[in-house]
Amino acid sequence: MALAELAARLNCAEYKNWVKAGHCLLLLRDALQRFAGEQLRAFHRQLLARLAPPGRLCRSRCLPRGRQFQSSCSLCTEWKKEILNHHTNRNGEVHWGNCKPWLWPSNSWELAKAYMPRGQMDISGPDKCDAAALLNLFNFCDHFSGIDQKKVREVIKCRNELMHSSEMKVSSLWLEEFGKKIQNLLKELQNVPEVMTASTRIEKLLSSDWAVYIPGEDDQPDGLEGETEVCMSGSQISEIEMELIKERLKEIYLLVEEQEMLSEENLNRIQMTKNFLKDSGDLQISLQADMQRLEGLEKEGYNQRRSMKETMKEYPDQEEDEGCSLKKMKCIPKEQLL
């Protein structure tokens, strides 16, 4: 039954493209993890030589809140200054809430998280990161300035378009251009063994059909046994799909947390995702808690709008100002959606 539902979803070419593109990001992530970890340890050692003599520790348990961080001790203040010195966008937003500053002298990955998007606080290492986190690290930490930053940003932009797509669909042309941009980035890292393997797998993935074989219903596609690098089993595709949907859900939750009032755009994302899961019985069973959470967020969004309309009726003189506030909530600049 689950394979039949998966096959039905993949009958939509644009949804299949969305899943394929997501799989490319997973392959990219896997290829970059070891490299990122090694580079961060080297970067961390450089900073340690300047900042932290043996035995010097944070005694205040300095704790950031979101994008705000006023350290209580001189050690964390020095680390914060050094992190900003190596930030490629020093006047931009830094998600200090990702970090446990008291661990900066002893844990290289706590340092890395200062260069990443929000939502990384519980991520303990590169093997737990998604592609967005690693790509933002490469983009915002000048230790990685040897990589063509334009190519990094192009893949980040595509990743955001993919994960913020309300319908979870992309065109074949979009997928083709995305494939080219990923390959352009991978060429920057040809000396990393995992990267060249990923490049080959991505090339084959993008040219494959991804037909799901359902035992007892369909004939096995010709050449399936001899093309294992191209064809994937239904269960493998299902696992990839599930991982991507969970990443999308995480993205929605993070966007919602940053808003006092749900934007029209985010409410639409919630509704589309909820309806998608509702129409996919196999996914709904596995993501029941998320379904309930989405329904709660949807209800909250409707209540906010009802309250706004009632306020406008009660205080008509404020209608223009309130309307402007609502319009501002409709669309958040894409650069803030990282």
Per-residue pLDDT tens over the stretch 34-87: 999 999 999 999 999 888 666 677 777 787 777 778 776 888 889 999 999 999
Does residue 229 sit within a domain? no
What's the pLDDT at 301?
80
Does residue 269 sit within a domain? yes
Does residue 160 sit within a domain? yes
CA–CA gap between residue 244 and residue 21 (Å, rounded): 10
Q: Note whether 182 and 270 are same-domain residues.
A: no
What's the pLDDT at 234?
82
Does residue 230 sit within a domain? no
Q: For residue 68, list its beta bridge partners.
A: 65
- More confident of the two residues 210 and 148: 148
Does residue 292 sit within a domain? yes
153-167, 171-185, 302-316: segment of lowest average pLDDT: 302-316
Q: Note whether 140 and 279 are same-domain residues.
A: no
Amino acid identity of residue 248, one-letter, is R
End residue of a domain, out of 177, 207, 237? 207
End residue of a domain, out of 164, 182, 207? 207
Q: Note whether 145 and 266 are same-domain residues.
A: no
Q: Note whether 41 and 150 are same-domain residues.
A: yes
What's the pLDDT at 92?
73
CA–CA gap between residue 46 and residue 56 (Å, rounded): 16
Q: Note whether 199 and 86 are same-domain residues.
A: yes
What's the pLDDT at 54?
63
CA–CA gap between residue 244 and residue 68 (Å, rounded): 30
Q: Is the pLDDT of residue 323 over 50?
A: no
What's the pLDDT at 88?
92
Does residue 246 sit within a domain? no
Q: Note whether 40 and 177 are same-domain residues.
A: yes
End residue of a domain, out of 169, 185, 207? 207
pTM for the model: 0.83
Does residue 233 sit within a domain? no
Can you give the residue range of the structural domain that contains 332? 259-337
The stretch 271-285 carries a mean pLDDT of 91
What's the pLDDT at 212?
66
Q: Which two tokens stand for residue 336?
A: 């803030």
Q: Note whether 89 and 152 are same-domain residues.
A: yes
Does residue 79 sit within a domain? yes
Q: Note whether 15 and 123 are same-domain residues.
A: yes
For residue 232, name the pLDDT band (cuts at 50, 70, 90). confident
For residue 317, name the pLDDT band (cuts at 50, 70, 90). low
Q: Is the pLDDT of residue 225 over 60?
A: no
Overall domain count for the chain: 2
Question: What secondary structure does DSSP assign to 167-232, as a single string?
Answer: T----HHHHHHHHHHHHHHHHTTTTSHHHHHHHHHHHHHHH---PPP-TTTSPPPTTTTT-TTT--
Q: Note whether 121 and 198 are same-domain residues.
A: yes
2-11, 21-30, 328-337: segment of lowest average pLDDT: 328-337
CA–CA gap between residue 124 and residue 227 (Å, rounded): 37
Q: Note whether 151 and 20 are same-domain residues.
A: yes
Q: Is the pLDDT of residue 245 over 80?
A: yes
Alpha carbon separation from 307 to 12, 56, 103, 262 (Å, rounded): 39, 53, 44, 13
Q: Is the pLDDT of residue 192 over 90?
A: yes
Q: Is the pLDDT of residue 160 over 60?
A: yes
Q: Note whether 181 and 291 are same-domain residues.
A: no
Q: Is the pLDDT of residue 137 over 50?
A: yes
61-70, 276-285, 329-338: segment of lowest average pLDDT: 329-338
How large a percentage of the chain has pLDDT more than 90?
53
Per-residue pLDDT tens over the stretch 250-264: 988 988 887 767 788
Mean per-residue pLDDT over the chain, rounded? 84
